[in-house]
Homo-oligomer: A and B are copies of this chain.
Amino acid sequence: MRKSLEDKIKKIKMVAMDVDGVLTAGEIIFINNTDEIKIWNVKDRMGFALAHRTDNLKLCWITGRESKEVARCAAECHIDAIYQKATKKIQAYTDLKEKYKLQDDEIAFLGDDLIDIPLLRYAGLAICPADSPREVKKEADLVTKAQGGKGVFREVIELIIKTQDNWDKVCARYYEEGE
């Protein structure tokens, strides 16, 4: 890993992210015109659990869409803050910084499309999935190997936890359990 990237990762205290195309493969599904359905990934779920166990990483979702399912899932995953219908994502971002008293370089942002470019520019660590458009990749410090919905967050959170030297602590229970 480049030294400059490593330095950026070490400072991160919050991982903020878009939802569709990052935590999902971008599928949009409705049933009987009712609420929107998402296809989440169990690998990311495990990632949220790992993040919480560091005790020093806040998690936030910022999405331009709105659905009960996103709220339900955020609650299930103990996401610290969630912004839906955020057409101006920069407002959510500014609000977040103030609420958690964070500097730009303490925030990582994961986004996959043009609408995420402003936040990718503000955040100290800009990350996008492998299947993002060229314009988005140009703004990113890091492009994940995973495509949207295939474990993007899991890949990112493992990298952050390992770079911040918390991996052994976070995983200890899996190796000690049952002994």
What is the 8 Å Cβ interface bit string for chain A, positions 113-144, against chain B (1 contact, 0 not)? Answer: 11101100110000000000101000000000
Q: Can you give 12 A-B contacts (C-beta < 8 A)?
A: A27-B39, A27-B40, A28-B42, A28-B45, A30-B69, A31-B31, A31-B37, A33-B68, A46-B114, A114-B174, A117-B174, A118-B178
Cβ of A79 under 8 Å from chain B: no
Which residue in B27, B35, B72, B118 is a CB contact (below 8 Å) of A177? B118
Give the contacts of A144-179 with B (CB-CB under 8 A): 158, 171, 174-175, 177-178
Number of A interface residues, CB 8 Å? 44
Contacts of A174 in B (CB 8 A): 114-115, 117-118
**A residues engaging B (CB < 8 A)?**
20-21, 24, 26-35, 37-43, 45-46, 50, 68-69, 72-73, 88, 90, 113-115, 117-118, 121-122, 133, 135, 158, 171, 174-175, 177-178
Which residue in B42, B114, B178 is a CB contact (below 8 Å) of A90? B178
Do A42 and B21 have beta carbons less than 8 Å apart?
Answer: yes
Give Cα A155 to B177, complex, Å: 29
Give Cα A117 to B170, complex, Å: 14
Contacts of A175 in B (CB 8 A): 117-118
Contacts A28-B39, A29-B37, A50-B114 given; 16 further ones with Cβ under 8 A? A20-B42, A21-B43, A24-B42, A28-B41, A28-B45, A29-B39, A33-B68, A33-B69, A43-B113, A46-B115, A90-B177, A114-B171, A114-B174, A117-B174, A118-B174, A133-B158
Nearest first, the 6 A-B pairs at minimum CB distance are A26-B42, A28-B40, A90-B178, A20-B42, A117-B174, A118-B177
A4 to chain B minimum Cβ distance, whole angstroms, is: 23
